[in-house]
Amino acid sequence: MIKNDLFLRALKGETVNRPPVWMMRQAGRYLPEFMELKNKYDFFTRCQTPELASEITVQPIRRYGMDAAILFSDILVVPQAMNIDVEMKAGVGPWVPDPIRKASDLDRVIVPDVNESLGYVMDAIKMTKEKLAGEIPLIGFAGSPWTLLCYCVEGQGSKNFAKAKELCYTDPKTAHELLERITQTTIQYLHAKVDAGVNAVQIFDSWGGLLSPEDYDEFSWRYIQPIVSALRSRVPVIVFGKGCWFALNKMAQSGASALGVDWTCSARNARYLSGGQITLQGNFDPSRLLSPPEDIKRMVTEMIDQFGKDRYIVNLGHGILPNIPVENAAAFVEAVKSYGQ
Q: Is 151 annotated as a binding residue?
A: yes
Q: Is 200 annotated as a binding residue?
A: no
DSSP string, 223-284: HHHHHHHHHTTTS-EEEEETT-GGGHHHHHTTT-SEEEE-TTS-HHHHHHHHTS-SEEEEEE
Alpha-carbon span 46 to 56, nearest angstrom: 9
CATH 3.40.50.1370 fits 6-337, yes or no: no
Q: Is 44 annotated as a binding residue?
A: yes
What is the phi/psi pair of residue 23, to 5°?
-130, 130
Alpha-carbon span 302 to 296, nearest angstrom: 10
pLDDT at residue number 213: 98
User: Global pTM?
Assistant: 0.97
Q: Is 318 annotated as a binding residue?
A: yes
List, for residues 275-311, the tens digit of each pLDDT value. Answer: 999 999 999 999 999 999 999 999 999 999 999 999 9
Mean pLDDT of the chain: 97
List, for residues 111-120, the tens digit of each pLDDT value. Answer: 999 999 999 9
CA-wise closest residue to 80 among 51, 55, 108, 56: 108
Q: Is 216 annotated as a binding residue?
A: no
CA-wise closest residue to 220 among 199, 206, 238: 206
List, for residues 75-100, the tens digit of each pLDDT value. Answer: 999 999 999 999 999 889 999 999 99
pLDDT at 341 over 90: no
Q: Is 120 annotated as a binding residue?
A: no
Tell me what the mean pLDDT of segment 177-198 comes to: 98
Q: How confident is the model at residue 58 (pLDDT cuts 50, 70, 90)?
A: very high
Q: How far is CA 14 from the centre of its chain?
A: 23
- Domain assignments of the chain as residue spans, ordered by start: 6-337
CA-wise closest residue to 278 among 309, 250, 311: 311
Query: In terms of DSSP bridges, do strands 69-70 and 237-241 run parallel, antiparallel, or are they unpaired?
Result: unpaired
Cβ neighbours for 291, distance < 8 A, ≥ 6 positions apart: 299, 328
Q: Is 30 annotated as a binding residue?
A: no
Q: How confident is the model at residue 314 (pLDDT cuts 50, 70, 90)?
A: very high
List, for residues 200-257, the tens digit of each pLDDT value. Answer: 999 999 999 999 999 999 999 999 999 999 999 999 999 999 999 999 999 999 999 9
Q: Is 85 annotated as a binding residue?
A: no
Tell me what the mean pLDDT of segment 11-25 comes to: 98
Amino acid in the structure at residue 182: I
Q: Is 205 annotated as a binding residue?
A: no
Alpha-carbon span 97 to 84, nearest angstrom: 9
pLDDT at 258 over 90: yes
Percent of the chain with pLDDT over 70: 100
CA-wise closest residue to 60 among 139, 123, 126: 139
Alpha-carbon span 281 to 242, nearest angstrom: 12
Residue-level length of the chain: 341
Q: How confident is the model at residue 340 (pLDDT cuts 50, 70, 90)?
A: confident
DSSP string, 161-220: -HHHHHHHHH-HHHHHHHHHHHHHHHHHHHHHHHHHT-SEEEEEETTGGGS-HHHHIIII
Tell me what the mean pLDDT of segment 137-146 comes to: 98
Tell me what the mean pLDDT of segment 41-67 comes to: 98
- For the four alpha carbons of 236, 239, 245 and 251, in that order, the dihedral sign comes to negative
pLDDT at residue number 90: 86
